[in-house]
Structure 1
Amino acid sequence: MFSHTYQDGKLSVFFNQMKILEHTSEHPVLMLQRNQATIDMYRGNYFIEENVEETLGLRLCTINEAYVEGRGVCILHFSSEMYHITCELSEQDGRLIIRFSPLPQPYNRLVLHIWAEEKEHIWGCGEQFSYFDLRGRNYPLWTQEQGVGRNKHTLITQLADKNDRAGGDYHTTFYPQATFVSSRGYFLHANTDGYADFDFSHEHYHRLFFWEVPSSLVLSVKPSLLEVVQDISSLLGRQPLLPNWVYDGIILGVQGGTKVLLDKLALMEAVGTPVIGIWIQDWQGEKYTSFGKRLRWNWQWDKQLYPELDHVIEMLKQRGIGILGYINPYVLKDYSLFEEAAGKGYLGKDSQGKPYLVDFGEFDAGVVDFTNPEAVRWYKKVIQRELIDLGLRGWMADFGEYLPHDITLYNGRSALLEHNPWPGYWAQVNKQAIVESGKGDELLFFMRSGSAQSLASCPMMWAGDQNVDWSEDDGLPSALCAALSLAMSGAGLHHSDIGGYTTLYGMKRSKELLLRWCEFAVFTPMMRTHEGNRPQENWQFDSDEETRRFFAAMTNLHVQLKPYLQEAVRENAEQGIPVMRPLFLYYPKDPFFTIKDSYLLGRDLLVAPVMEEGVTSRNLTLPPERWVHLFTNESFQGGSCRVNAPLGMPPVFFREDSAFASLFRSINTGTEPLP
Structure 2
Amino acid sequence: MARISDMAMKFEAAPDGFSLSLNGRTVLRHHAGSPCMFVGQGQERMGMYRGNFEIEDYIVERSPLRHAEVDGHRIALSEAEGRAPRLELSIVGNALRFRSLDAGINRFWLRIPADAEEHVWGGGEQMSYFDMRGRRFPLWTSEPGVGRDKTSEITFKSDLKDKAGGDYHNTNYPQPTYISSRRYALHVETTAYSVFDFRRDAFHEIEVWAVPERIEFHSAPSFIELVEALSLRFGRQPELPDWIYNGAIIGLKDGINSFARLDRMRAAGVQVSGLWCEDWVGSRQTSFGSRLFWDWQANDQRYPDLRQRIAELHDQGIRFLGYVNPYLAVDATLFPEAEAAGYFARDRSGRTAIVDFGEFDCGVVDFTNPEAAEWFAEEIIGRRMLDFGLSGWMADFGEYLPIDVELSNGVDAKLMHNAWPTLWAEVNAKAVESRGRTGEALFFMRAGFTGVQKHCPLLWGGDQSVDFSRHDGLVTVICAALSSGLLGNAYHHSDIGGYTSLFGNVRTPELLMRWAEMAAFTSVMRSHEGNRPRDNIQIDQDPDVLAHFARMTRIYVHLAPYLKTLSKEAAARGLPVQRPLFLHHEHDPKTHAIQDAYLYGPELLVAPVWQAAQEARTVYLPVGTSWVHVWSGEIYDGGKEVTVASPVGSPPVFYRADASFAPLFAALRDV
Retained in 2: the 8 A contact 1:519–1:554? yes
CA-CA distance at 1:573 after TM superposition: 1.1
CA-CA distance at 1:103 after TM superposition: 4.6
* Counterpart check, 1:330 vs 2:331: no
Counterpart code for 1:60: H
Instruction: Give the aligned partner of residue 651 of structure 2.
Output: 650
Instruction: Report 1:22-41 matches (<5 A).
Output: 22-41=29-48
96-105 or 556-565, which moves further after superposition? 96-105
Which whole-Å CA distance do the structure 1 matches of 2:440 and 2:25 have between them?
Answer: 45
Instruction: Give the aligned partner of residue 626 of structure 1.
Output: 626
Retained in 2: the 8 A contact 1:74–1:90? no
Instruction: Report 1:289-308 matches (<5 A).
Output: 289-308=286-305
Q: Secondary structure at the match of 2:280?
A: coil
CA-CA distance at 1:218 after TM superposition: 1.0
Retained in 2: the 8 A contact 1:32–1:57? yes
May I ask how many residue pairs the two structures share in their alignment? Answer: 658
* Counterpart check, 1:273 vs 2:273: no
Counterpart code for 1:90: V
CA-CA distance at 1:506 after TM superposition: 1.4
Which whole-Å CA distance do the structure 1 matches of 2:368 and 2:160 have between them?
Answer: 36
Instruction: Report 1:221-620 matches (<5 A).
Output: 221-258=219-256, 260-380=257-377, 381-588=379-586, 589-620=588-619
CA-CA distance at 1:7 after TM superposition: 5.1
Counterpart code for 1:650: P
145-154 or 75-84, which moves further after superposition? 75-84
Which whole-Å CA distance do the structure 1 matches of 2:416 and 2:426 have between them?
Answer: 14
641-650 or 622-631, which moves further after superposition? 622-631
Counterpart code for 1:593: H
- Per-residue deviation, residues 570-604 of structure 1 (Å, max 9, x unmatched): 11111011110000111123211100011100110
Which whole-Å CA distance do the structure 1 matches of 2:569 and 2:376 have between them?
Answer: 33
List runs of 5+ in structure 1 lacking aligned partners.
66-72, 671-675
Which whole-Å CA distance do the structure 1 matches of 2:617 and 2:437 have between them?
Answer: 45
Which whole-Å CA distance do the structure 2 matches of 1:529 and 1:18 have between them?
Answer: 45
Retained in 2: the 8 A contact 1:111–1:210? yes
CA-CA distance at 1:269 after TM superposition: 1.2
Counterpart code for 1:634: E
- Per-residue deviation, residues 225-284 of structure 1 (Å, max 9, x unmatched): 1211111111111111111011110111111211x1122112111121111111100001
Which whole-Å CA distance do the structure 2 matches of 1:346 and 1:77 have between them?
Answer: 44
Q: Secondary structure at the match of 1:101?
A: strand
CA-CA distance at 1:74 after TM superposition: 5.1
- Per-residue deviation, residues 511-568 of structure 1 (Å, max 9, x unmatched): 0000000000000000000000011111111111111111111100100100100111
Instruction: Give the aligned partner of residue 68 of structure 1.
Output: none
333-342 or 661-670, which moves further after superposition? 661-670
Which whole-Å CA distance do the structure 2 matches of 1:147 and 1:116 have between them?
Answer: 31
- Per-residue deviation, residues 309-351 of structure 1 (Å, max 9, x unmatched): 1111111111101111000010001221111100100000001
Identity of matched residues, %: 45
Which whole-Å CA distance do the structure 1 matches of 2:354 and 2:22 have between them?
Answer: 49
Instruction: Give the aligned partner of residue 158 of structure 1.
Output: 156
Q: Secondary structure at the match of 1:256?
A: coil
Which whole-Å CA distance do the structure 1 matches of 2:207 and 2:376 have between them?
Answer: 35
CA-CA distance at 1:78 after TM superposition: 3.9
Instruction: Report 1:97-116 matches (<5 A).
Output: 97-116=95-114
Q: Secondary structure at the match of 1:667?
A: helix
Which whole-Å CA distance do the structure 2 matches of 1:371 and 1:307 have between them?
Answer: 36
Retained in 1: the 8 A contact 2:17–2:67? no
Retained in 2: the 8 A contact 1:553–1:669? no
Retained in 2: the 8 A contact 1:630–1:652? yes
Which whole-Å CA distance do the structure 1 matches of 2:304 and 2:92 have between them?
Answer: 62
- Per-residue deviation, residues 28-55 of structure 1 (Å, max 9, x unmatched): 1110111111110000001111100111
* Counterpart check, 1:661 vs 2:662: yes
- Per-residue deviation, residues 375-421 of structure 1 (Å, max 9, x unmatched): 01110121111111221111000111010111001111111111101
Instruction: Give the aligned partner of residue 70 of structure 1.
Output: none
**C-alpha spacing 1:103/1:41, structure 2 compared with 1 (3 Å):** farther
Retained in 2: the 8 A contact 1:103–1:213? no
Deviating beyond 6 angstroms after TM superposition, the runs of 4 or more aligned structure 1 residues are: none
Retained in 2: the 8 A contact 1:522–1:558? yes
Which whole-Å CA distance do the structure 2 matches of 1:438 and 1:176 have between them?
Answer: 30
Retained in 1: the 8 A contact 2:33–2:66? no
Which whole-Å CA distance do the structure 2 matches of 1:42 and 1:586 have between them?
Answer: 43
Which whole-Å CA distance do the structure 2 matches of 1:329 and 1:7 have between them?
Answer: 52
Counterpart code for 2:65: L
Counterpart code for 2:31: T
Instruction: Give the aligned partner of residue 59 of structure 1.
Output: 66
- Per-residue deviation, residues 628-659 of structure 1 (Å, max 9, x unmatched): 11222221111211000000011101111111
Which whole-Å CA distance do the structure 1 matches of 2:355 and 2:33 have between them?
Answer: 47
List runs of 5+ in structure 2 lacking aligned partners.
1-7
Which whole-Å CA distance do the structure 1 matches of 2:59 and 2:604 have between them?
Answer: 49
Q: Secondary structure at the match of 1:594?
A: coil
- Per-residue deviation, residues 56-91 of structure 1 (Å, max 9, x unmatched): 1111332222xxxxxxx3535444334432211132
655-664 or 447-456, which moves further after superposition? 655-664
Which whole-Å CA distance do the structure 1 matches of 2:134 and 2:192 have between them?
Answer: 23
- Root-mean-square deviation (Å): 1.3
- Per-residue deviation, residues 108-145 of structure 1 (Å, max 9, x unmatched): 11111111111110100100101110011111111110
* TM-score normalized by the length of structure 1: 0.96
Which whole-Å CA distance do the structure 1 matches of 2:482 and 2:101 have between them?
Answer: 36
Retained in 1: the 8 A contact 2:88–2:101? no
**C-alpha spacing 1:134/1:323, structure 2 compared with 1 (3 Å):** same
Retained in 1: the 8 A contact 2:135–2:197? yes
337-346 or 225-234, which moves further after superposition? 225-234
Q: Secondary structure at the match of 1:569?
A: helix
Q: Secondary structure at the match of 2:366?
A: coil
Counterpart code for 1:602: G
